[in-house]
Structure 1
Amino acid sequence: MSGPQRPAPGPDERPADDVHPGDDAPDLAAPDFHAPDLAAPDLAAPDLDAPDLHAPDPVTPAPGADAEPPAAEQPAPAAPAPRRRRRDPLAAALIGVLTLLLGFAFAVQVRTTGTGEDYSTLREEDLVRILDDLDAREDRLREQIADQRAALRELNSSDSQSEAALQEARERAEALGILNGTVAAQGPGLIMTVRDPEGRVRVADLLDAVQELRGAGAETMQIDGVRVGVSTAVTGEPGQLRIDGTAVQSPYEIRVIGSPQDLQTAMNIPGGVVDRVGRQGGSVDIEQSPTVLVDALRQLDRPQYAQPDTDDGN
């Protein structure tokens, strides 16, 4: 017990001639130099206990040798560390969400509790005033709702009237377009083919055909791809006829929309178009069809002098 208590002579107090090469006494008597190596078993412990299959077998250090293994022989850090880093963001996100939920619940609880405490501390007159304010606010809201509903009904009514007016105007425009030839039309009617092998059909014959068809109820028609309108003009000489300036040739195809039976009866009356064309060496073939397409269009004539009457009668 007395040996360890005796202070060892310092390195400066030992004579230089007492130091011999290979003498182990300085190593045993000078723990200050090797104390960090012997007192740090934590560095070598992971190497001895690590289950890494690639780690080298532990080597027992020789007496007096340094117990710390070389830095090159130390194994790499354990693999679970990256997995902990991958779990950290998820855990942080979960903690953040839970914190927000708890904070929201706490705020709602505090607000509810505070409101109840505020009302519980009010006087009866204050509570009555608050109830009156709430009733007045409810009445104002009910009035606003009623006004909005009335406005909605008015808008629906005006929209319905506007839609009806637009629909009526659209139908009238379509009817006028069919009559003046600016809109294509289809419907039941006749397909007439007038053959004039001798070139003797006159302008009057085509005009009579147009007038008789109109008198029988024809709504719209076209002759050889030329739409017939109110101001249609037939000109030229027999065999060289023109309709609104467009030359037409035999056989003349007339497409007309109307009652097929009435139209055919008008064409076959004695002394009518069929008889006159036959006396001139021609012929007329009439075919009734449930669907006749009249797709030739006319350019709308703009009036030069006439203007719409805007006077309301006053």
Structure 2
Amino acid sequence: MLAGLGFGLAVMVRSADPADRLGRLRPDELAAELENLSVDGQRLQDEAGGLRATQSAIADGARGDADIDRARQEADALAVLAGTSPATGPGVTLTINDPRGTVEAWILVDALQELRDAGAEAIELSGVRVVASTYIVDAPGGGMTVDGGQVAAPYVMRAIGDAHTLAQAMRIPGGVLDTVATRDGAQAEVANSERIEIRALRTVPSPRFARPAD
């Protein structure tokens, strides 16, 4: 018990040492001690402020990086839709054989529209990138004119999107496959694929009259 009491007293003495030491200091020594404590406190405040500034800068940088990544993703998506960037993904390939020239342009237009309605995100028709302004007309002497270029059978459409949904859109009763089957000698088939690559690109013309609004 005495040993325990002795330990307690020793702890109490050691705990009291700083106060005793300050109590024994002369006024000038005490003033110097307080000045040192004030300087140390200011230094810690400055360091804390610097750390808060660093933390804020890191947070701002992270938000900036996220904004840059989001803008880049949106630009990539717009480039795919505009046809100015290659695209790859799951989808379908629609092949229309027309050895006798009985398939008319409106059938291909319907096929494009059905693919778009089914969620196709990128389409290529026989090497021509399909965009919102794409037009298809019957060409004199056979074949089709697609955006001013001549296209001959077999007509091959590649579309990127949900493969199952796109294929079902082609196979609906009265849809593209049924319509092509009514044309003499023509035949159409659709094939699903886990990876479709669309490499054909479009150039975006410069606007002649339109300007960005303020």
Question: TM-score range with shorter-chain normalisation?
Answer: 0.7 to 0.9
**CA-CA distance at 1:215 after TM superposition:** 1.3
What's the counterpart of residue 183 of structure 2? 280
Q: In structure 1, what is the Cα distance between the partners aligned to 2:202 and 2:212?
A: 22
**TM-score, length of structure 2 as denominator length:** 0.78
Match of 1:266 in 2: 169
- The residue that corresponds to 2:196 in the other structure is 292
Is structure 2 residue 33 aligned with structure 1 residue 146?
no
CA contact (8 A) 2:143 2:153 kept: no
Q: Residue type of the partner of 1:296?
A: A
1:131 aligned partner: 33
Q: Secondary structure at the match of 2:156?
A: strand
Q: Deviations over 1:111-150 (max 9, x none)?
A: xxxxxxxxxxxx9444334323322221221111111111
Deviation at 1:308, TM superposition (A): 4.7
What TM-score, normalized by structure 1, do the two folds share?
Answer: 0.55
SS of the equivalent of 1:171 reads: helix
1:180-225 CA-to-partner distances (Å, cap 9, x unmatched) read 2122222211111111111232221211110111112211110112
Q: Give the secondary-structure state (helix, strand or coil) at the position aligned to 1:183.
A: coil
Larger relative contact order (CA 8 Å, sep ≥ 6): 2
Aligned to 2:64: 162
What does 1:297-312 align with in structure 2 at a 5 Å threshold?
297-308=201-212, 310=214
How many residue pairs match? The answer is 188
What are the within-5 Å matches in structure 2 for residues 38-187 of structure 1? 124-187=26-89
Name the one with the larger strand percent: 2
SS of residue paired to 1:162: helix
- Partner of 2:123 in structure 1? 221
Measured after TM superposition, the shift of residue 271 of structure 1 is: 2.6
CA shift, 1:273, in A, is 1.9
5+ residue gaps, structure 2 = 1-24
Gaps of 5+ in 1: 1-122
CA distance in 1, matches of 2:131, 2:37: 72
Does structure 1 retain, via aligned residues, the 8 Å contact 2:92–2:193?
A: yes
Whichever of the two has the greater Rg, that structure is: 1
CA distance in 2, matches of 1:269, 1:140: 78
Q: For residues 269 and 240 of structure 1, what CA distance do their matches in structure 2 show?
A: 26
State the SS of the aligned residue for 1:230.
Answer: coil
Residue-by-residue CA offset, 1:219-275 (whole Å, 9 max, x unaligned): 111011211111112234262312222221111111111222222222122332222
Give the Cα separation in 1 of the matches to 2:65 and 2:171.
46
Report the aligned-residue RMSD.
2.1
Identity %: 35
The answer (yes or no) to whether the contact 2:138–2:144 under 8 Å persists in 1 is yes
Cα distance in 2 for residues equivalent to 1:236 and 1:283: 18
Once the 2 structures are TM-superposed, how far is the Cα of residue 306 of structure 1 from its aligned partner?
Answer: 4.3
